[in-house]
Chains A and B, each alone.
Chain A
Amino acid sequence: MKQGLRTFFLRHETILLLILVAEWCYFNSVGRHFGSLDNSFDIVRHSVEIGLLAVVMTPIILTGGIDLSVGSLLGLCAIVFGKLWRDAGWSVGSAAMGTVVLGALAGGLNATLITWLRLPPLIVTLGTYSLFRGVAEAVTQGVDTFTNFPASFLFIGQERWLGIPAQAPFFLLVAGVVWLLVHRTTWGRSWRAIGFSPEGARYAGIPVGRRLATVYVMAGIVAALAAIIYTARLGQAKADAGSGYELFAITAVVLGGTSIFGGTGSVHGTLLGVAAIAVLNNGLVHARQPREVGGMLTGLLLILTMAASVLPKMLAKARPTGHATGRNTQSQTNA
Chain B
Amino acid sequence: MIKRNFRELSVAVALGLLLAFLAVAAPAFYQPQPLLSLLAREAPALVVACGMALVIISRQIDISVGSQFAVCGVSSGLLVAAHWPVALVFPLAILMGAALGAVNGLLVAGLRLPSIVVTLATMVTWREGLRWLRQGQFVNLPDGGQWFGMAQTTGQITLVVAAVLLLVLLAWGMKNLAVGRQVYAVGSDAEAARLAGIRPPLVTMGTFVFIGALAGLAAMMNLAQSPQVDPKSGMGLELKVIAAVVVGGVAISGGRGNLWGVFAGFLLLACISPALTHLHIQAYWEKAIQGGIILLAVVADGLRSRRSNRTGGGAP
Contact = CB atoms under 8 A, between A and B. Distances in A.
Interface in B107-129: 107-109, 111-118, 120-125, 127-129
Contact of B252 (A123, A293, A324): A123
- What DSSP secondary structure best describes chain A's contact surface? helix
A130 B290 contact: yes
B291 A120 contact: no
Interface residues of B, number: 58
Contacts of B179: none
B292 interface: yes
B303 A131 contact: no
Interface string B280-310: 0010111111111011001101110110000
B295 A131 contact: yes
Contacts of A117: 298-299, 302-303, 306
A105 interface: no
Contacts of B123: 247, 299
A314 B60 CA distance: 21
A292 B128 contact: yes
Contacts of B60: 324
Contacts of B111: 306-307, 310-311, 314
A254 B170 CA distance: 35
B98 interface: no
A129 interface: yes
A292 B131 contact: yes
A303 B110 CA distance: 13
A124 to B, nearest CB: 6
A258 to B, nearest CB: 11
Nearest to B189: A322
B143 to A, nearest CB: 31
A129 B291 contact: yes
Nearest to B294: A127
A1 to B, nearest CB: 32
A70 to B, nearest CB: 14
Interface stretch (A135-143, A167-175, A215-223): A135-143
Interface of A: 66, 113, 117-120, 122-124, 126-135, 137-138, 140-142, 199, 247, 250-251, 254, 260-261, 290, 292-296, 298-300, 302-303, 306-307, 310-311, 314, 320, 322-326
27 contacts: A117-B302, A118-B302, A118-B306, A124-B298, A126-B246, A128-B295, A129-B239, A129-B291, A130-B243, A130-B294, A131-B287, A133-B287, A134-B289, A141-B284, A247-B124, A292-B129, A295-B127, A295-B131, A296-B128, A296-B129, A299-B121, A299-B124, A302-B120, A303-B122, A307-B107, A310-B111, A325-B190
